[in-house]
Amino acid sequence: MGKKIHLIVAARPNFMKVAPLYHALKATDWANPVIVHTGQHYDINMSDAFFTDLKLPEPDIHLEVGSGSHAEQTGRVMIAYEEILKKESPELTVVVGDVNSTIACAMACSKYHYPPEKNLPFTQTKIVHLEAGLRSFDRGMPEEINRILTDTISDVLWTPSEDGDENLINEGVTKGKIVRIGNIMIDSLEMMRASIEKENVCEEFNLKKSNYAVVTLHRPSNVDNKETLKKICTMLNETAELLPLVFPLHPRTRKNLEEAGFMQLISNNERITLVEPQSYIRFMSLVFNCRLVITDSGGIQEETTYIGIPCLTIRPNTERPITITQGTNQLCTIADINSRVKNILSADYNMKYKVPDLWDGYTADRAVESIKKILE
Ligand code: UD1
């Protein structure tokens, strides 16, 4: 059977981080990886499509918690996952990234002590945080709270880059807990590269290669406030005059645009193509072939740095500063976007970038080595 290892997945950005680790553990003769889906994201195109693309099997365990306020969602995951811990007794649980399910499962593990009669070689499930140490230093972001708390209670902290190690050390974490394994999303990208390069999704939307921008926006700070959302719509119409846009709409963004009555502000513009959230391969195909990206996502800042596509991030800060210091990312305000786009489109625009260390496609192997040591 092998050693039981729970891999927690919950929301869209988790799937491409867990897939390489699942496949690498499955290839060993000692590990029994079990996928636990909390159900934070549940739509076909926010979840199932990623399982298909990343060749993940159906989740072994599904907690089906769905949406809710932060406390509701976190609480429901904790209650449901504690029941699973009682039945399953995993030796190790890997939590990923910074979503509500990450902290919920870590917290359930950290407080659940197995009764002595279970006679297990451990009294508590070991917790490993994949993508540890990232900090935006903005506690107004729910994800920042999730990151800080998860890192505080995890036994081992897998960081993607040097700045992650530095943040943890500054918070007083002992060096022995930190293992820099690199950026595991790059493993997914390399694993799927051939399939991504075969697709030509832009043509389906009548867009020409290197002559359109991909837009993704879903952060509460950008899309939950009506005034801000309206400014974004105005900005997108102006940007669309510079180059056509394709905008896969996150459910939160779609709902807010509809409720505010703003949808037609952008849907009437024929240079803006509004589409459903895309699967991993289809979305990466759009990014591979675009001229630039406008986003507020975390992961896309990293993917664009890796493949060398300019990225404009509409946020006042980022937990991924290496994408700015070494990569292709720039932070900007809604008001800045147009001048930044013009600059990128200008003939003398010269983008220098370097792929950060350990963003090499072998992160899952280093993660497996680390698990082996932890369980020895
Ligand atoms: C969550 C994460 C965020 C991550 C994002 C990626 C937290 C605090 N936030 O935010 O870090 O960047 O996922 O997408 O964990 N909805 C659907 N179908 C779905 C999922 C959600 O319709 O499959 C709707 C929900 O009903 C809700 C809205 O989308 O109204 C927001 O979903 P939620 O999971 O609460 O947060 P995200 O904004 O997706």
Q: pLDDT digits over 131-148, tens only?
A: 999 999 999 999 999 999
Give the 3-state secondary structure percentages of the chain, helix then strand then coil, rounded to 5: 50, 15, 35
| CA of residue 30 to ligand 1 center, whole Å | 35
Q: pLDDT category, 258, cuts 50, 70, 90?
A: very high
The residue assigned the tokens 């952060």 is 219
pLDDT of 121? 67
> What average pLDDT does range 1-24 have in this prediction?
97
Task: Return the pLDDT at 256.
Answer: 98
SS3 call for 96:
strand
Q: Report pLDDT digits (tens) over 331-368.
A: 999 999 999 999 999 999 999 999 999 999 999 999 99
Of 12, 15, 41, 70, the one to substitute when testing ligand 1's pocket (max ligand atoms within 8 A of C-beta) is 41
Q: Which is more confident, 248 or 124?
A: 248
pLDDT over 90 at 257, yes or no? yes
- Ordered domains of the chain (ranges, CATH): 3-183+360-375 (3.40.50.2000), 194-345 (3.40.50.2000)
pLDDT tops 90 at residue 1: no
Which ligand 1 atom is nearest residue 97's CA? 11
Residues with CB under 6 A from ligand 1: 11-13, 40-43, 46, 67, 98-100, 142-143, 218, 250-252, 255
Q: How far apart are CA 176 and CA 157, in angstroms?
A: 9
Mean pLDDT for all residues in the chain:
97
- pLDDT confidence of residue 352: 93
Pairwise CA distance, residues 4 & 212, whole Å: 46
First-to-last alpha carbon distance for the chain, in angstroms, is 17
Q: How confident is the model at residue 109 (pLDDT cuts 50, 70, 90)?
A: very high
Give the pLDDT confidence of 271-327 residue by residue, as tens digits.
999 999 999 999 999 999 999 999 999 999 999 999 999 999 999 999 999 999 999
CA dist 51 and 323 (Å) reads 27
Q: Is 218 a catalytic residue?
A: yes
Q: For 173-232, how does the pLDDT look when each residue is reduced to its tens digit (9 = 90+)?
A: 999 999 999 999 999 999 999 999 999 999 999 999 999 999 999 999 999 999 999 999
Sheet containing 31-37: order of strands: 61-62, 31-37, 3-9, 92-96, 126-130, 156-159, 178-180
Q: Which of 6, 41, 129, 218 is catalytic?
A: 218
Closest atom, ligand 1, to C-alpha of 100: 15
CA dist 103 and 149 (Å) reads 7
CA–centroid distance, residue 311 to ligand 1 (Å): 22
Residue 123, pLDDT score: 78
The confidence score (pLDDT) of residue 119 equals 67
What is the Cα–Cα distance from 102 to 93, expressed in whole angstroms? Answer: 11
Distance CA 174, CA 104 (A): 23
Predicted confidence at residue 114, as pLDDT, reads: 86
d(CA 118, CA 128) in angstroms, rounded, equals: 22
pLDDT at residue number 117 = 72
Query: Ligand 1 centroid vs 38 CA: distance in angstroms?
Result: 13
